[in-house]
């Protein structure tokens, strides 16, 4: 599904974020920036251990913060590590919103044209996809409407299951 807001397209697709053809991918990170399971594990396997080494050197960070590393062997030039949970592996809508907002701010600083997000907090964090979609889409729409990243033209949510994809598409359709 694709909708446009101004000059920016918001898209959903089912797939493996580590294979995304974008300038930056967002990692659903813990606050120590270790890359073990879920999206982080997939990015580390596809992009190489150097991504984790670079990330861990920048941590720990506050929950909700985002840091940038290179993309290693990924197509994406950058990985934006958005800390959505601490060591308890729990998250909530507020943490997801803040992590999304800070990942978008990093994209603005990088002057990139495209970014891919996973469904933050819904894998290892176990958060409800519908609530994650509400938080993330709301932050993206606010960011776009604020006009603060003129280079950003494409935001894609790359989702790992049909259930999560359906939750995001339902929320995105409601914005159209």
Over residues 50-87, the pLDDT tens digits come to 999 999 999 999 999 999 999 999 999 999 999 999 88
Which domains does the chain possess? 2-175 (3.40.220.10)
Q: Write down the pLDDT at residue 87.
A: 85
Report pLDDT digits (tens) over 128-148: 999 999 999 999 999 999 987
Q: Write down the pLDDT at residue 14.
A: 98
- pLDDT > 60? residue 125: yes
Nearest residue to 83 (alpha-carbon basis) of 30, 35, 34, 154? 30
pLDDT above 90: percentage of residues in the chain = 88
3-state percent helix, strand, coil for the chain, nearest multiple of 5: 40, 25, 35
* Range scoring the smallest mean pLDDT among 7-11, 27-31, 112-116, 144-148: 144-148
- pLDDT > 70? residue 175: no
Q: Are 39 and 50 in contact, with CB atoms under 8 Å apart?
A: no
- pLDDT > 70? residue 176: no
82: alpha, beta or left? (left if phi > 0; alpha if psi -120 to 50): beta
Non-local (6+) Cβ contacts of 61 within 8 A are 31, 33, 67, 83
Nearest residue to 159 (alpha-carbon basis) of 29, 42, 35? 42
């Amino acid at each position: 599904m694709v909708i446009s807001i101004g000059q920016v397209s918001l898209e959903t697709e089912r797939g493996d974020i580590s294979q995304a053809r974008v300038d930056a991918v967002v990692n659903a990170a813990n606050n120590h920036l270790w890359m073990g399971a879920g999206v982080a594990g997939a990015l580390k396997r596809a992009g190489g251990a150097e991504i984790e080494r670079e990330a861990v050197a920048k941590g720990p960070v506050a929950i909700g913060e985002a840091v940038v590393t290179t993309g290693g062997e990924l197509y994406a030039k950058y990985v934006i590590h958005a800390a959505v949970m601490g060591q308890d592996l729990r998250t909530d809508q507020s943490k997801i919103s803040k992590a999304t907002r800070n990942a978008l701010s990093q994209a603005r600083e990088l002057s990139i044209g495209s970014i891919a997000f996973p469904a933050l907090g819904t894998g290892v964090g176990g958060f409800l996809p519908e609530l994650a979609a509400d938080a993330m889409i709301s932050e993206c729409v606010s960011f776009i409407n604020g006009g603060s990243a003129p280079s950003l033209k494409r935001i894609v949510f790359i989702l790992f299951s049909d259930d999560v994809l359906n939750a995001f598409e339902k929320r995105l359709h409601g914005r159209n």
